[in-house]
Amino acid sequence: MLCGLPLCKKDNGRAQPGCYVKAAGEKVEKLSSALYEFIKANVPEEDILPEEPMCRHTTFRVGGNAQCLVRISSIRQLEKLIPHLKVVGIPYFILGNGSNLLVGDKGYKGVILQVASKMSTVTVEGDRMRAGAGLPMIQAARCALEKGLTGLEFASGIPGTLGGGVVMNAGAYGGEMSQVVEEVTVLSDEGEILTLDNAFMEFGYRTSIIKNRPFVVIETVLKLLPGDKKEILKKMEELAGKRREKQPLEYASAGSTFKRPEGYFAGKLIMDAGLRGYSVGGAMVSEKHCGFVINTGNATAADIAQVIWDVQKQVKDKFGVTLEKEVIFLGDF
């Protein structure tokens, strides 16, 4: 079946932007009635989506069904659901925009808690921006522009949410979240709300303390600098031009597939390994930028995973360099 949406037209056999592909979903086990009733007691029923195709919620546009996806709209809901899921032993995953995620074709046996548009409030006081974890990073950058604040220009083309950006210390073109985050409010799996300052976050290259702790980002305070709106806009436009020139934005992907190995560039290693255009099914190493694995229009999650694994093996065999993936694998392939 299709993922609830039609396939778009193709040109030269390749799907065009915004394309949704087949949900390769084998049916997943249904939630128990007791768990469903508990969720319904804390979340409006219209925000509870049983057996939800995850291809609707990832930028790769692939993935089988999750047992249940819950659209979160308040901290209170997280405070109720997370400790309960932990107690009853049901796996859960915090989802933003799905821009760094590959969900297996067989789906995810657990609950997806989506922190996105319903938790995306933003306020600006002076040079500080306080924003919900579900705020898109692109929107945060535009808000900073409107207020004449500089420091977030690098985020103007990153498709994830602020919460996800904080967790992985997202960055581009010399900027990263660690440079602007002042403090982060998180919820522990025990239901405790904590505020972490920048020093406690242990930011590193595409990582933070939250990657290894059972914390959920709720809100972030960013410390920016006063700037000239024209100069800020000029910088954002320059970065957008670089992205259009160098990245395969016309295809579904999860952005840069691999972390930059120390002393190397992932894309160049992949190109030098002779893997430009390497494909399995509908998944391919981008010919435009070898650091991207793309969905050419009809890929399955298994296709994409296989390309990633093959690239890792070939680069390791030829150059002795281990490519660590940025993309999170979730569920069964």
Q: What is the dihedral angle through the alpha carbons of 102, 294, 327, 5, rounded to the nearest 10 degrees?
A: -30
Inter-axis angle of helices 75-88 and 33-42, nearest 10: 160
Name the residue with tokens 């469903």: 36
- Euclidean distance between CA atoms 19 and 29, whole angstroms: 28
To the query of whether residue 206 is one of the catalytic residues in this protein, the response is yes
- Residues 253, 275, 171, 82: is their CA dihedral positive or negative? positive
Name the residue with tokens 């074709």: 105
Name the residue with tokens 């934005």: 249
Whose CA is closest to 108, among 48, 55, 172? 55
Give how far Cα 237 sits from Cα of 146, 194, 320, Å: 15, 37, 38
Give how far Cα 102 sits from Cα of 61, 105, 123, 322, 327, Å: 9, 9, 32, 20, 7
Whose CA is closest to 295, among 242, 254, 247, 245? 254
- Catalytically annotated residue among 176, 206, 208, 253: 206
Q: Which residues of 79-115 are buried (b: 16+ CB within 10 A; e: fewer)?
A: bbbbbbbeeeebebbbbbbbbbbbbbbbbbebbbbbb
To the query of whether residue 256 is one of the catalytic residues in this protein, the response is yes
Q: Where in the sequence numbering do the catalytic residues fall? A: 206, 256, 326
